[in-house]
Chain A
Amino acid sequence: MPPTHNRYQRYAERLGEPVTDDLKDFVDGLDAPYLAAPLPETLRHFTPSAHSTDEELLAMSLPPPESTPVVTRHIPPHDGDRSPRSRVSFGLVAAIVFVVVVVSIFATKQVFAPQTAQRPQTTSSPTASPIPTATPQPPATKVYVRCLTISLQEPTSPATNCDAVPPTKSVPINSLVNLLYCYTADIPLPSAIAAKVTYPDGKSSIASGGLLVGQPPCDGSGTHVDQTGQYTVQIYWNPATNLKQPIRQPIDPVKDHTWQLQITELFTVI
């Protein structure tokens, strides 16, 4: 969208000049990139869950839900190759597991919804037996779940099951981390998923997206759901520039980079 004549006129008046081609070039140079910048896909709709802090997420009132109560469950980690750091993290998680918060807030009344049930589980299958559900939510309420049952896997390890590791886990910066959110068939599909990511510089952000089946969004983070019901948040981070890179600019993995990306929390919006 090129600057309009009115825009040229506006600048001309401010500069005390007539509208000439020279002035138009100046205004184009000043404004054209600004006007031409496309609105990111993530901003097409207002999604209050997308970029908020955890407190905001939990304190927020939302549009009506499609349905049903929500449960979360905890899946114990494999013993595999857990690092000391992740052991510590798991300790933290174990403590937090008992404090899983399911808060629902009515659109205007700020009423807390009942907490969800959660219990350890011995199987890692995503189709494991149903877990007791929470008290049904009243209509016109969405529920945010602080999810503690996530898995982190290296991108080279295809997600074949929901083997859980502590949700607070540092992973090498190799451009991509998959977060898997496990759920059972009685849990409604989340409409969005978000992960709180703490970067090496101490800053953190919420990476999130709607369910974009087979189509990762361009903002470097987003979700994917496949037929087995595994949710993936892909988080890209380029340690060279400290930028979350869009997928259209793939990053070469930095194999020997020592910085760590820390996934500290995962939220789902159901």
Chain B
Amino acid sequence: MAEATEEAQIIAAAQRDPQAFDALYARYVRRIYRYALAQLHDADEAADATQQTFLRAWQSLKRYRADYTFAAWLFGIARHVISGLRSGRPATVSWENVPEDAQPLARTGNPEAVALLRESHTHMQQLLRRLSSEKQELLALYRDDDLTVAEIAVILGKNPETVRKQIARTLKTLREHYHAANT
């Protein structure tokens, strides 16, 4: 609750003074970038999408009303930006371009386990890409820890219960494929 109040104050300040927007940017830039990257699979395009998202948010912040959360509003903008970028563009680079030293290590730290884990991660990313764009989008939103199902429903313009079921169904399907490939 305190955090929501603090955020409301930051938003109000940014609506009065554009320079105060920096605080909102700092708060959300990583989340929006990850969301964009999860869907665009390209660091440059994700960075472009993130910039465009914040630019639009910055320009229209005065029109923001607290009918729903700022996160839902901002992710909604990002969704439109990403949708525009996705249409008609060719497939681009993959997750493998994440620098190796930024990739996670296996819990054991054993080099062989690390190699196996990376292989399974790569496979997971391939499975993810086989999902429909709608399901990829759903999971991209769900992977943001701080977005509630209700907020995801607002962003997607769907019923929360429907979204909840779709997330569970998509995860289960993905889990089954992942499990089948790793046994």
Partner of A35, one of B29, B34, B90: B34
Number of chain B residues close to chain A: CB under 8 A: 55
Q: List 25 A-B contacts (CB under 8 A).
A: A24-B107, A25-B120, A28-B104, A29-B124, A30-B143, A33-B95, A33-B103, A35-B104, A39-B33, A43-B33, A43-B51, A46-B21, A46-B22, A46-B25, A46-B58, A48-B55, A51-B55, A52-B51, A56-B59, A107-B17, A107-B18, A220-B44, A241-B90, A242-B89, A243-B92
Cβ of B7 < 8 Å from any Cβ of A?
no
- Assess whether B48 is interfacial by the CB under 8 Å rule: yes
Given A28-B117, A39-B30, are A51 and B48 neighbors across the interface (CB < 8 Å)?
Answer: yes
Among residues of A, the one whose C-beta sits closest to the C-beta of B172 is: A15
Contact status B54-A46, CB under 8 Å: yes
B102 on interface, CB distance cutoff 8 Å: yes
Map CB proximity to A onto B78-98 as digits: 1 under 8 Å, 0 otherwise.
000000000001101101001
- Taking chain B's interface residues, is the majority helix, strand, or loop, or is none over half, making it mixed? helix
Chain B residues contacting A11 (CB-CB under 8 Å) are: 171
Contact residue among B50, B98, B172 (Cβ-Cβ distance under 8 Å from A36): B98
Provide the residues of chain A in CB contact with B172, threshold 8 Å: 15
Bound complex: CA of A28 vs CA of B114, how far in Å? 12
* B34 contacts across to A, CB distance below 8 A: 34-35, 37
Q: How many residues of A contact B (CB 8 A)?
A: 50
A36-B98, A37-B43, A51-B52 given; name 7 further pairs at CB < 8 Å: A15-B168, A15-B175, A28-B121, A29-B125, A38-B102, A46-B21, A51-B48
Q: Is the CB of B19 within 8 A of A63?
A: yes
**Which residue of B93, B117, B145 is within 8 Å of A7 (Cβ)?**
B145
Pairwise interchain contact A51-B51, C-beta atoms closer than 8 A: yes
Contact partner, A26, options B21, B38, B89, B178, Cβ 8 Å: B178
- Taking the closest CB of chain A, its distance from the CB of B35, in whole angstroms, is 9
Q: Assuming the A-B contacts A39-B33, A48-B55, A56-B55, are A32 and B145 also in contact, with contact meaning beta carbons closer than 8 angstroms in the complex?
A: no
